[in-house]
Amino acid sequence: MAKTVNVFIDGHHLEVPDTMTIIEAADKIGIYIPRLCYHPDLPPTGNCGVCVVEISGNPTPKRACCTPVAEGMKIVTNSKKLRTYRKTVVEMILSNHDVTCPTCSANNKCELQSLANNLGVDPDALPSILVKKPADDSSLSIVRDTNKCISCGRCITVCNEVQTVCALTFADRGIDTHVDTAFSNGMANSPCVNCGQCTVYCPTGALHERSELDAVWEAIFDPDKHVIVQEAPAIRVSLGEEFGMPLGSVTPKKMYAALRKIGFDAVMDTNFTADLTILEEGTECVTKLKAGEKRPLITSCSPGWIKFMETYYPDLADCVSTAKSPMSMFGVLSKTYYAQEKGIDPAKIVSVAIMPCTAKKFEARRPELSDSGYQDTDYVLTTREFIRMIKETGIDFANLQDEEPDAGMSFYTGAGTIFGATGGVMEAAIRSAYYLVTNTDLENVDITAVRGLEGVKEASVDIPGFGKVNVAVAHGLSNARKVLDQVREGLATKGESPWHFIEIMACPGGCVGGGGQPYGNDIASRARRGLALYEEDRNLPVRMSHHNPEVLKIYEKFLGEPNSKLALKLLHTHYFKRSIFNGQITEEITHKHQ
């Protein structure tokens, strides 16, 4: 039971629960204690030693991040002594850091850089003790540059505790301490699911996406190539903040304009295939419901979740929707339907996806995702890479004139756009499943029970003619585990899952909190971006996927109907079992629809 205690921070008296740490109490009254390894989203580790404060009665300073407040505590956050020690601690960190700020991927976003700058440290105060080591670039998604790592441990905390993937750990001791994968086999040969949350929480440039910018520029400049681009739902609410607009600005039309200025030949939208996914996955769900299936249907859009499932829950692979992700549906259609419609040789089409995600880079390289006869998606750029592209081109994003996307695969409904927030896929699916069962539209399409940032959300939806449909939504893989363990237990003990339909997103907050999102991607900003998507949904003329005219057109002209033979061939996939030791495929566990 938390007690309320009186503490004094720099003379300010405040009453706070005794479960709070000093840094939380100080933040509450707007006193910013310099910090480096501490992040409000993660449990503190006390690794960096920057946030030390003086507490009366203690001979040495204490860490504000992990020291709980206590009754009568008198705290000084700034003094001559503290200033000197903090500076020296940061100077020591810099003496073991590869200081290449101008070219670093984290430049201007680096927390070490701004801390050093704020404290006025002398970069030459101490001789360098850095021993350079090669970067781990084995992964298709993430590059790990040990030379920039300050061993704060945030990546390990987020990987092990928030995502429960357990790909990263500290290895060796003392000055040789470094973040590593098991047996130093590299990220590609680890259980890493490529979610990229480590890149989001890394305070420096030690962890970042594997950049494919150069290859995309090459394609754009190649006159023989037809470069078509799609953007995930979350992108349109994550750009403005980087260009002086308020966090959570909804900017799809500026996004199209920027892409056209950059030189993409066709600017379309992933939201279109999000709507398409709803029809494919929704049809799958309704078929299962009607058949009285005891095993649940779980969404398949999140590639981090898919690899996690293949690694840790392969026994549930048959429960995962076979529908490809919206990105991969777009990829395969860009080289079939689109090529056919436009009369372009699919060999000349370069399909680029802009994603809030690092795992999409891995997904795009899955060999089985080549049902067009080519690699369906050629390149994936993260939001951060896209922002770099805009900046490189000198585009004044905030003042761009709105532009419309190219027609064909770009029209989207409110259901498609909320895919980017946790619970969005579920809400979109319910809107259409209701229609698929009853042939009438839901009167109130806002299913607020599945919105918000609670780790696991549950709801029960009454569908006339069928009855109660129980659904669950989990975001962040530790929450996914909670749901999946209950599914396992339900199947083992009662022979049925507690839920009929489950949405899982690898990243906390869903795609708006993806591993490819702009730096400073904390829980609070994820929440803000999620709200922006719901705001866009509310303002769109069409809010249900089954009313998307371009989707109806593609079924009419090309695919036939949802889950048709062609749809199953092009829009559905299958899964593998992977080793928890090295993440490699050990067997094909579900099979492609015949």
Nearest distance, CB of residue 148 and other proteins, angstroms: 14
Kindly compute the dihedral angle of the four CA atoms of residues 243, 245, 247, 253, in this order, to the nearest 10 degrees: -90
What is the C-alpha separation between 121 and 535, in angstroms, rounded? Answer: 44
* Closer residue to other proteins in complex, CB, 92/445: 92
What is the C-alpha separation between 16 and 25, in angstroms, rounded? Answer: 7
Stretch that binds other proteins, among 56-64, 215-223, 234-242, 395-403 (CB under 8 A): 56-64
Which residues, at least 6 apart from 170, have a Cβ–Cβ distance to it below 8 Å? 151, 153, 156, 177, 178, 179, 180
38-71 b/e (C-beta count within 10 Å ≥ 16 → b): bbebbebbbbbbbbbbbbeeeeebbbbbbbebee
What residue type is 216 in one-letter code? V
Catalytic residue of the set 149, 457, 511, 525: 511
Nearest distance, CB of residue 27 and other proteins, angstroms: 19
Q: In what order do the strands lie in the sheet with 379-382?
A: 266-267, 226-231, 349-355, 379-382
Q: Is 174 in the site for other proteins (CB under 8 A)?
A: yes
**For this structure, is 360 an active site residue?**
yes
Helix, strand counts (H, E) of the chain: 19, 19
On whether the CB atoms of residues 310 and 191 are closer than 8 A, the answer is no
On whether the CB atoms of residues 373 and 208 are closer than 8 A, the answer is no
* Closer residue to other proteins in complex, CB, 174/343: 174
Q: Is 57 in the site for other proteins (CB under 8 A)?
A: no
Catalytic residue of the set 91, 293, 368, 496: 368
Which residue of 6, 100, 170, 348 would you call a contact of other proteins, by CB under 8 A? 170
Half-sphere exposure of 553 (CA within 13 A, CB side): 14
**For this structure, is 301 an active site residue?**
yes
Residue 542 φ/ψ, nearest 5 degrees: -115, 130
Catalytic residue of the set 284, 385, 536, 550: 284
**For this structure, is 588 an active site residue?**
no
Nearest distance, CB of residue 62 and other proteins, angstroms: 9
Q: Is 254 in the site for other proteins (CB under 8 A)?
A: no
Catalytic residue of the set 24, 212, 280, 281: 281
**For this structure, is 404 an active site residue?**
no
Q: Is 292 in the site for other proteins (CB under 8 A)?
A: no
Number of amino acids touching other proteins (CB under 8 A): 37
**For this structure, is 427 an active site residue?**
no
Interior angle at CA 264, CA 303 and CA 271, nearest 5: 40
DSSP, res 506: S
**Tokens 């600005």, residue located:** 249
Q: Is 177 in the site for other proteins (CB under 8 A)?
A: yes
* Closer residue to other proteins in complex, CB, 84/184: 84
Which residues, at least 6 apart from 524, have a Cβ–Cβ distance to it below 8 Å? none
- How far apart, in Å, are the Cα atoms of 355 and each of 35, 98, 212, 233, 515? 31, 29, 12, 8, 9
Structure tokens at 106: 């984290």
Give the x-and-dash track for 118-157 against other proteins (CB under 8 A). Answer: --------xx-x--------------------xxxx----
Can you say whether residue 72 is alpha, beta or left, with left for phi > 0 and alpha for psi between -120 and 50 degrees?
Answer: left
Q: Is 474 in the site for other proteins (CB under 8 A)?
A: no
Catalytic residue of the set 360, 410, 457, 545: 360
What residue type is 495 in one-letter code? G
Which residue of 16, 20, 26, 67 would you call a contact of other proteins, by CB under 8 A? 67
What is the C-alpha separation between 40 and 64, in angstroms, rounded? Answer: 12
Stretch that binds other proteins, among 55-63, 113-121, 416-424, 476-484 (CB under 8 A): 55-63
On whether the CB atoms of residues 69 and 3 are closer than 8 A, the answer is no
* Closer residue to other proteins in complex, CB, 129/407: 129
Q: Is 68 in the site for other proteins (CB under 8 A)?
A: yes
Q: Is 426 in the site for other proteins (CB under 8 A)?
A: no
Which residues, at least 6 apart from 66, have a Cβ–Cβ distance to it below 8 Å? 21, 44, 45, 46
Catalytic residue of the set 37, 202, 285, 301: 301
Nearest distance, CB of residue 94 and other proteins, angstroms: 9
Nearest distance, CB of residue 84 and other proteins, angstroms: 8
Nearest distance, CB of residue 52 and other proteins, angstroms: 5
Nearest distance, CB of residue 101 and other proteins, angstroms: 19
* Closer residue to other proteins in complex, CB, 40/373: 40
Q: Is 591 in the site for other proteins (CB under 8 A)?
A: no
Nearest distance, CB of residue 61 and other proteins, angstroms: 6
Nearest distance, CB of residue 335 and other proteins, angstroms: 48
* Closer residue to other proteins in complex, CB, 67/325: 67
Residue 229 φ/ψ, nearest 5 degrees: -125, 145
**For this structure, is 3 an active site residue?**
no
Catalytic residue of the set 363, 503, 536, 550: 363
- How far apart, in Å, are the Cα atoms of 250 and each of 121, 235, 247, 409, 422? 39, 9, 9, 20, 17
Within the chain, what is the greatest distance between any pair of CA atoms? 79
Q: Is 176 in the site for other proteins (CB under 8 A)?
A: yes
Catalytic residue of the set 105, 321, 351, 432: 321
**Contact positions with other proteins (CB under 8 A) in 343-372:** none
**Contact positions with other proteins (CB under 8 A) in 69-98:** 81, 84-85, 88-89, 92-93, 95-96
**For this structure, is 341 an active site residue?**
no
**For this structure, is 443 an active site residue?**
no
- Applying CB under 8 A, the residues found at the interface with other proteins are 44-49, 52, 60-61, 63, 66-68, 81, 84-85, 88-89, 92-93, 95-96, 126-127, 129, 150-153, 169-170, 172-177
Report, as residue numbers or ranges, the catalytic residues. 281, 284, 301, 321, 360, 363, 368, 511
